[in-house]
Chains A and B, each alone.
Chain A
Amino acid sequence: MTNTERFSLSMRLFHWGMAALIFAMLTAGLLMVASLDGWQLTVLTAHKVFGVIAALLVSMRLINRLRQPIPALPDDLSHWQKMSARVSHWLLYGLLFAMPVSGYLMQYFAARPIDVFGWFRLPAALNVNIYNYALFRELHSVFAIALICLIALHIGAALHHHIIRKDKVLKSML
């Protein structure tokens, strides 16, 4: 940690760009598994492609994050608050990897190659493994629910810093 007051421009772009992508992906995911309507296939196809893009983005984001200084947490935070801030951020990163990986693996074990814009296809198993499909299908859901909860906590904490504590935590990402 250093004296920097704000996240770097690249980190802010990754943060808000991926925030929009993740919001769209979670919304699409929740709606498409329930729908029988014609748009379902279009959204599902896009969801898979943007999952691939999300996996690439979060990898680049993590490298970017590890190479740059970030603002220190406010000094007046208690030890457990600092700990939970750090743990929740690494959990967020973990889930951002776990979502596309579990999504890909459920397709892989269901033997469903993923078509990327008609340019190429991601490989899938030749033969279905229904147990592994079920495992990753259910994990994909559990991770999604965990991610939604963690994002809610993340937004709540950001607002808490800004509105109640009136510190610079939220501003450092704007």
Chain B
Amino acid sequence: MKKLIWALLLTPLIGQTTEVPVNVTAQQFVDLQQGNAVYPGFRRAHAKGICVSGEFRSNGQLSDYSKAPVFQPGVTPFTGRLSIAGNNPTAPDLKAPVRSLALSFSISSTEQWRLAMNTPPVMAVAEPHTFYQQILAIQAGPAAIKQFFSEHPESKEFLAWAAQYKASGSFASETYNSINAFYLINQNGKKQAVRWVMQPTVTVATTDAQDVDALQNEIANRVAAGNVVFDWVFTLADAADDENNATKAWPDSRQKITAGQIVINNTTAQLEGGCHAINFDPLVLPTGIEATADPILRARSSAYAESYRRRATEQLTGALKEPEND
């Protein structure tokens, strides 16, 4: 708490005196995310979610670009999670600004792949220490966030997206973006920078339901009635694109390849499902996919590790309690 107050007091100084933000540690970052109300045993970010499972039906279109076996024609099962942004595992679903889809392909004892995707296609900032300042500004209120964005012109594309984004009435009708870029590595060792997106195959209108679990209940009912399907579409960078800058989308004209479909056929409450134990660290990659040097991507891995350690240890020591909805 003290740290937070100091950080809040110092924020304006930092903004005025220098363009380079103060370096923060993974621990400070996760302290900021979890805030003052810690929910033992839960994720420090995207604490509220629902486990899903299903399969990736690969059409083989991407197999020339990556030697990862998941892209051969065929079916790979996954465990996943649909979640909302925030530190509170009982928060109202419809109030959260960001929704997420995470997937884990447990391919073999030596091949694992974790993916963590969000509704925004780009980040507002390009590196983690500035991202910390962005979260501080969000917590400080509308005036601070307005000031932050005015001082960070790199947030232009993010703001343009946010201005036109309308949250839909279902997890099934959202678009989930890799945000960061990765390299596909093919049989010949050729590298191709890509981003990807899970595109919904249904449209669901915005809802004003009062239910705090509106999205979870909606998706559970929808999946019980039939599969929920997304098209997995990759965008290939060309030489002009910067794969290490998550604030800039690549032009629409870039080659796109649909690798297949993500099919969700089951949902389970997160504490009963297989997703709760998983750290959806986007740097757990199989052979045939590699991390770019994108500073945000690298930092996600470090911050997730700290969050995971905290909640895993809390679970081991028996501190996890299912909070009541308030």
| Chain A positions near chain B (C-beta within 8 angstroms) | 32-38, 40-41, 110-113, 120-131, 133-135, 137-138
Contacts and interface: CB of A to CB of B under 8 A. Distances in A.
Interface stretch (B171-179, B211-219, B223-231, B296-304): B296-304
A133 B129 contact: no
B112 A124 contact: yes
Given A121-B110, A126-B106, A40 B312 contact: no
A112 B274 CA distance: 16
Interface in B91-145: 106, 108-112, 128-129
Interface in B167-218: none
Given A110-B279, A111-B106, A129-B277, A38 B293 contact: yes
Interface in B277-320: 277-279, 283-284, 287, 291, 293, 295, 298-299, 301-303, 305-306, 308-309, 312-313, 315-316
B128 A36 contact: yes
A129 B276 CA distance: 10
A42 to B, nearest CB: 9
B269 interface: no
Interface in B11-52: 23-27, 29
Contacts of A125: 109
Given A40-B302, A130-B315, A134-B312, A124 B25 contact: no
Interface residues of B, number: 38
Interface of B: 23-27, 29, 106, 108-112, 128-129, 274, 276-279, 283-284, 287, 291, 293, 295, 298-299, 301-303, 305-306, 308-309, 312-313, 315-316
Contacts, number: 91
A40 B316 contact: no
A36 B312 CA distance: 20
Given A33-B305, A111-B106, A131 B315 contact: yes
B315 A113 contact: no
A127 B313 contact: no
B298 A38 contact: yes
Contact of B110 (A37, A124, A137): A124
B41 to A, nearest CB: 9
A69 to B, nearest CB: 43
Contacts of A126: 106, 108-109
A120 B306 CA distance: 27
B306 A123 contact: no
A124 B26 contact: no
The 5 closest A-B pairs by CB, nearest first: A123-B109, A134-B312, A134-B316, A130-B277, A121-B110
B277 A41 contact: no
A52 B279 CA distance: 23
A41 B301 CA distance: 8
Contacts of B27: 34
Contacts of B276: 130
A103 to B, nearest CB: 13
30 contacts: A33-B26, A34-B26, A34-B27, A36-B24, A36-B25, A36-B302, A37-B295, A37-B299, A38-B295, A38-B298, A38-B299, A40-B298, A40-B299, A41-B301, A110-B279, A110-B308, A111-B278, A113-B112, A121-B110, A121-B111, A121-B287, A123-B109, A123-B110, A125-B109, A130-B276, A130-B315, A131-B315, A131-B316, A133-B312, A134-B316
A4 B303 CA distance: 52
A152 B231 CA distance: 57
Nearest to A110: B279
A124 B29 contact: no
A125 B106 CA distance: 9
A73 to B, nearest CB: 41
Given A113-B109, A121-B111, A127-B274, 5 more contacts: A33-B26, A36-B299, A128-B279, A135-B316, A137-B312
B26 A36 contact: yes
Given A124-B109, A126-B106, A134 B315 contact: yes
